[in-house]
Structure 1
């Protein structure tokens, strides 16, 4: 069990792009204003538990549904591609239906941080990388998520609106490329 830094960086940056915590800062600031506060540690812990749970039992759950990981990875790559398009084009394909008053669990921990895109990405990554590499990538992202949640006001002042848009578009392009790679890696095994 040797640590492959390149794989860890790929997994971490993929999750970072999908979670898009920096792109979510304007929404998080709005939610913080409406709710009065965000329980940063609780939101990080709940979203992390959802991600790790899906990493550990997501494949078995898919087996119960009769779907193999390769098929799910191809489907997931399409979702990741659409998320990348959202980020680059600024068009919202996936609508969030969370009530801002419901607290830290919904919509912050789920679906904002550990949403369907993130969970799909975790299974897609698991098809290409060792489980422990994905788990470590999740933990590294949770550290970033917690820091961002704790620093919302400071980050908003530091980066500004134009900076946030630029960061979101940059990670959108990276996400598109990663989606194409995941699709190409898994699609050939599905055609018989």
Structure 2
């Protein structure tokens, strides 16, 4: 076991920035209003399971469909880039899902919001840099944060206000943009 606090903190922060649960509060609040409620525990656990399964099987699934990790990482970097631009520029590409609490808890909350292409690509990238156990701890820490934010999204909205949420979204957008550029530049050479 190679537990390294610095690596766990770094992996947790990278995943936190990519998942962007705080920046997703406006979307979560909108879903809660449309569906009546969201199953916070169910959404958190499913998101965590999707990320852990992808951490172990992601590369195998990619090889099965004829895509290597470098190609997936470059595609993921582009997705993260567009998500970051969305956050910084304040545009929304989000499509409305069905209005039942069960459906809203899975789609679009778990996928693509929490365990979407950005976080799945990030997991494969983290796997290349850090031992598996450190990444699993980072996923679990993020699931706990996701659960806490989902449970308290209404209170957070009142506390942060519209401007506070907007500022947090822009800050995490810039962090994501930097992550996308790093992911793109470190993998693009492998394609050529």
TM-score, reference length from structure 2: 0.89
Task: Tell which deviates more after alignment, 163-172 or 151-160.
Answer: 151-160
- What are the equivalent positions in structure 2 for 1:71-86 lying under 5 Å apart? 71-86=71-86
**Cα-Cα RMSD:** 1.8
Q: Which runs of 4+ in 1 moved over 4 A?
A: none
CA 1:146–1:103: 2 relative to 1, 3 Å: same
TM-score, reference length from structure 1: 0.89
Residue 54 (structure 1) shift:
1.0
Residue 127 of structure 1 aligns to a residue in which SS? helix
Q: Contact 1:72 / 1:124 at 8 angstroms: preserved in 2?
A: no
Residue 97 (structure 1) shift:
4.7
Specify the alignment match of 1:28 in structure 2: 28
Specify the alignment match of 1:16 in structure 2: 16
CA 1:179–1:7: 2 relative to 1, 3 Å: farther
CA 1:182–1:5: 2 relative to 1, 3 Å: farther
Residue 36 (structure 2) pairs with residue 43 (structure 1):
no
Residue 149 (structure 2) pairs with residue 148 (structure 1):
yes
Distance 2:165 2:4 in 1: 31
Distance 2:10 2:16 in 1: 10
Gaps in structure 1 of 5+ consecutive residues? none
Q: Contact 1:70 / 1:127 at 8 angstroms: preserved in 2?
A: no
- Count of matched residue positions in the alignment of Structure 1 and Structure 2: 190
